[in-house]
Amino acid sequence: MVWAPARLTVLAGPSGVGKGAVAALLAERHPKVYLSVSATTRPPRPGEVEGENYFFVTRPVFEAAARAGELLEWAEYNGNLYGTPRPAVEDALGAGRPALLEIDLAGARQVRQTMPGALQVFLMPPTWAELERRLIGRGTEGPAERLRRLATAEREVQARGEFDFVLTNDDLGETVGRLAVIMGLN
């Protein structure tokens, strides 16, 4: 199968796999790529910046945006809502910029329905032990939350066959290079 460069790319994978690091380095190496900023109802973690890491909104504001069709995709994850604001992505694509969405499995499935031409890439950890190490190393979740995320990760990994490409994030620089090739950026 021959792939034409996709203007919209979805990057999904389990929590702790490194989606954020991959997306950030890709955007640094390829500044023309629009890196979507998601909206969420969860509170900011230490060091997160409004409008840079997420748009932090209340549940009523988020729900109103979803009802109005202003979100390209959205899902509830561990009690919080996450979604991709549609206007910013459409503006970037309209300006001819490739766009990258860093989202979860449920969001990727929604994008597959709403924008079937999007390229879908699943990011895998090199090993299960490494995924656990990364989640612990982040220090952003307690033991119970880590167990929930690992259980969710197990279900997400089983869905990797739904994606156009599967990348193993064993070396950040190499993973970003492979993603750039898949996106037609090199």
pLDDT tens by residue, 125-151: 988 777 777 766 666 667 787 788 788
The CA distance from 117 to 114, in Å, is 9
**Which residue ranges make up each domain of the chain?**
8-182
Residues counted in the chain: 186
Query: Can you give the pLDDT at residue 139?
Result: 64
Give domain 8-182's CATH superfamily. Answer: P-loop containing nucleotide triphosphate hydrolases (3.40.50.300)
Mean pLDDT computed over 106-110: 92
Mean pLDDT computed over 116-133: 87
Q: Which residues contact 76 (CB under 8 A, 6 or more apart)?
A: 82
Report H helices in the chain: 19-29, 59-67, 86-94, 105-114, 128-138, 143-158, 172-182
Mean pLDDT computed over 159-163: 94
pLDDT higher than 60, residue 5: no
pLDDT higher than 60, residue 4: no
Average of per-residue pLDDT values in the chain: 89
Q: What percent of the chain has pLDDT over 70?
A: 93
